[in-house]
Amino acid sequence: MNSEFISRLQKIEGVLHTYLPSQPNGAWQSLSFGNIDSCINGSHLANLLAPCTNLVELGGKRWRPLLLVLCAEMAAETKKSSQTEINLAVEKAYKITPLVEFAHTASLIHDDIEDAADTRRGKPCAHITYGLDVALNAGSWLYFEAASCIKDSNLSDSEKLRLYELFLTELRRLHLGQAMDILWHRNPSLIPTVQEYRAMVRNKTGTLSRMAVKLGLLAGGASLEELEKAGVFAEDVGTGFQIIDDVINLTTGNPGKKRGDDIVEGKKSLPVLIHLENHPEDSERLTSLFQKARAEGIDSPAVEEAISLLTKSGAVDKAKEKGNEIIAKNSEALASLFSNSSSKSALLIKDLFDSLQKKTK
């Protein structure tokens, strides 16, 4: 890891812990809930905090909040006239990092419920550890809790309004993408087009990258036009990483998950769509394998049979190549947004994406 990232990540962890403490405290409770009945105690609050803090503390790359901060630095270096103004802009960025990281965490809790997944980051999923009702409620709460950092900031009312609008729009888009994904994996014979798949991923996964970049640029003083332009680059970077994630699922297996669990869940990932574009005659066979894998679980022979089919046709390799191409193209465009891709922050953005790509190879 680039040593430049370490101090930034440590600061991000401190902010995340402030707005999602492992144990409730008076300042946090007042910010989150205002005045509540005195009979409410730690055991009640634990049903919200525990599933969320447990997942956050299990790790995660934290690349989205780091990207948020780096984008704020990049914009501020261009837009602000003094070092003091730059520092203030970057402090704003740190303060709002929970928006993207908590939204991401909440989406994982819900995603695991909707996919009937067993593990996340190498441990049992929240709905298995705490129960479906507790996990579902805590994940929903965390989407709202994320916005407490806006309330706690010393931003102007107009700046706060812009943050709320941006955050809520991206959350709505995230749920749209998830709705599309659910439609396809609940219907084994329903095969989306590649264009529909890309649209789904831009919203389900790309929205978090887009949110991180737009929030960072907003804190750094970028214009709304620059935010929109950068958002397109960012959502495509997120799309590229999701494609690579889908490839890893079919090859080595994602960290903390089981190889081929996308087959069990019926995910119509890009390797599947590429294979069917070139071999439409395999549609019924793949549908049958998906159905068998869902019925029999991760140890079903259908899982490896499906993976073998996608691998031998070259679809997995083609998807990986496409994912890496999308990441390289759009990360360069994002770092060059202000026509100075050799600035320190721009170089760090490129290094961040390079390091993330290396971990997928």
Q: What is the model's pLDDT at position 361?
A: 58
Long-range contacts of 298-305 (CB under 8 A, 24+ apart): 298/258, 298/260, 298/261, 298/264, 300/264, 302/263, 303/259, 303/260, 303/263, 303/264, 304/260
- Mean pLDDT for each 10-residue chunk of the chain (361 residues)? 89 97 93 94 94 93 95 90 90 96 97 89 94 97 97 90 96 96 87 93 94 96 93 94 93 79 90 95 93 92 95 96 94 84 83 81 58
Residue of 332, 325, 324, 260 lying closest to 292 (CA atoms)? 260
Q: What is the model's pLDDT at position 169?
A: 96
Distance CA(61)–CA(359), nearest Å, equals 11
pTM greater than 0.85 (yes/no): yes
- Contact in structure between 291 and 185 (CB atoms under 8 Å): no
How many angstroms separate the Cα of 187 from the Cα of each of 285, 315, 327, 354? 15, 22, 30, 36
Distance CA(64)–CA(105), nearest Å, equals 12
Q: What is the model's pLDDT at position 117?
A: 85
The separation between the first and the last C-alpha atoms of the chain, rounded to the nearest angstrom, is 16
DSSP 8-state code for residue 280: G
Residue of 57, 65, 53 lying closest to 138 (CA atoms)? 53
Q: What is the model's pLDDT at position 359?
A: 64
Superfamily grouping for domain 3-358: Farnesyl Diphosphate Synthase (1.10.600.10)
